[in-house]
Structure 1
Amino acid sequence: MHTCSKLQARDNLRCTVRHSGHLMLLEKNLKCFGPGSCRLRRRASLCAKLQQSEAATENSHKELVVERVSNTGGSRKAFAKAFTSLLGLKLSKPEDLDPETLRDPPFAQYQVPGSDLVVQKLRPYFFGRTYTDTDVGYLAFFASMHLVALIGGPLTFSWDALEVCLAGYVLTGMLGISVSYHRQLSHKSFRCVKPLEYFLAYCGALAFEGDPIEWSKMHRWHHMHSDTPADRHSPRDGVWHSHMGWLFDESLNSTRRDANGNMKDSLSAPWFLKESPEFYSWLRATYMYHQIGQATFFYMLGGVPYLVWGFVIRVLLTMHMTWLVNSAVHIWGEQRFDTGGDNSRNNWLVGLLVFGDGHHNNHHAFEYSAAHGLEWWEIDMSYYFIRALELLGLAWDVRRPSPAQLVAKRIPNHNLPTA
């Protein structure tokens, strides 16, 4: 009887190993009828654990991972490389900058007028440094765009072209960047129905500031390391650098590392890519083709004036307004809340220009909040739009700081803002 039990157990074990889904069932049902059966039970338990480990490894391999900067054929980086290749330029890879040079740069410190911020320039902005293909591609793009705007703008001006420009700024700057890229995709401050989420994200892509994955990963890194040496666009490294100069220095950007030596938060996919991999992967892979498409659309719609005002000037307007949040509102304004030592400020003028994102100290204190304007007089058009969606039942989980949270982070001698 004892031998029969052992043989039956062996048969059951072989069967269970062949059908890994039943391993846990074998472990549960095997009884110790003697030392041999106990060994079989331990073996079955070990097999079960190995199978679970293999399954976990397989799942981790299947989990979405994504780089911050896209290397797809439709990315900005790919187009920059193609541009420099077309010109026949052979440029350097990002150079390894001497840490000692960056710690003790040969430039005089200065205090920004109207602010207590002391600036230390780290690198030459244009001359006496190397350039990568990305640097040259970006410089060529922005130089040509600004040249077209400065010369072509006055020559092609009309009131309807201006209206197209401003309407495009609201569509891409407010709905696309402020509402979608910034508050929803980067901070998950509200949820909405998927078709609306996709529409808003597409508006953000048309702002020409990068695909949603790149933008959100860059912005999350900024919040983790705001105004520290790891921050890619801190005004403490220079006012020009924080506004747009950082775009043209890939070598300096490669030094922006945290205490563990990482220059990015992780390879983990942001929440929206995990939920909707097909849409966001498609938008990332075809990103530059949508920019060419919108330029063609404006030309077909109204000729050269619409191309200049609806595309060139509108794109530059949206970018410079976004960059003001990197530069101006980390220099000028008031700090009402404790944000751990960064230089984020509330600037009412920038708040008006960028649909509420200029209330930046509020945002850094409560980055999860859909509302950036926390006083009645802090105009926040993006939040008003989100609030309207909530009232219509198109948005939910709209997050706001509680009165207790406002009190906890308020700097002494400031009046308590109302939620």
Structure 2
Amino acid sequence: MAPSRNILPLLLLATLLCTQAKPDDKVQASRDKVSKALQDDEAAWADYVAEFGAGSVMNLVAGPQTKDLPEPARAAAYKNNFKAALREMDKLNKQAEKDGDDVAFGINSHAHLSAEEFAALRATGVRTAAKRRAPRRAGAESAAAASPAAEAAEAAALTSGGRKLQQTCSTSSGQVAYTLGSTVAPAAVNWVSNGFVTPIRNQGQCGSCVAFATTVLTEFALMKRNSIYNNANTDLSEDDLMECEPTLSGCNGAGLNTYVSSVSCRGQSTEATAPYNYADSNYCPAGDTRAAERGAMKTTLNFQWAAVPRSNADLMRAVATAPTQIGVKADGYAFQYYTTGIVGCSVEGKRAVSNHAVTVVGYGVSGGKPYFLVKNSWGTGWGEAGFFRVQKDCILSSKAPYGPFAMFASSPIVPVL
């Protein structure tokens, strides 16, 4: 018997709801990959090493506990971590499915690290003034104490072209008042597809995330102010920020506003002049080609920035004008194993601790769910080829007081052009 006309609308509605509830193909594929890997974790580990280790676990990102181990011992530790990770991924995926979140947690370039190693390696880049360690030059001075010649050489370098010449920048240099409260933002913005975001980079084993997040802002400002620059020929130097900012933070992390104020104060050189070297340095060149480039870029950028109120609406308005730097809570399984999709409102959002800096580069709607698009600095083997999405317009409640990954635990920062 054919269904009555009264039943047909209900059947159509049920069909539509089922269609909307079905995970995105990429999400489902990532979940299925984990399920398959659990059936033969030895084969899955071999595939993982082939994909992310270039045939050798020595080429995988090394955690603090394993980086100095010989390869066989490191391989054994990584394999155990990986097998345990598969079970955690499966739990996260089942919870996401239960919650109706269209997101997948799965095998990415960080699946071989223990939770502790991941937190120590990746969730250390954002520092408050109280938690920032003593200037890293202190170690060099202690080592040089037994060598007067070395001590004199370092002092001469610092005086005639090093850090002491850069100690005049204020942490509020370039800061202006936030004035976007009444701005009406468009329905969707994507600075990546609009050509104002450069390719994904990898900060490596260095807590330099704030330098990378800030550079997204300065590169955007450069491209917006000067039509000769685009996402193919623009590449400003994170290393220059790390070497020349006054607080000597380097790979130990920095405050969210450390480098935006530094760029406003003294400019930023290019990657070609100061390539990223994944390490600390005690020397900031002055009086040379690189210093001249910084000075010229300071004038070209005329960089100013504002702290954004911690709300969905204000972040949306800020991102509508420019990529916006934020701090997130990154030391959790959900962040470590994220592969694709939109992270739901309640995930990893309970603790008010920002320990990693990233940049929101757009927002939109997918499958009826609004999201923020965020650029990370861990290479293309993590997330959606280096990016991730989190649900927008979350209700900040006692269950999730700071939104996904504690995005609103600190004030975002937007360049003002």
Calculate the TM-score normalised by the size of structure 2.
0.26
Higher helix share: 1
Max Rg structure: 1
Q: Give the strand-richer structure, 1 or 2.
A: 2
Name the TM-score, length of structure 1 as normaliser.
0.26
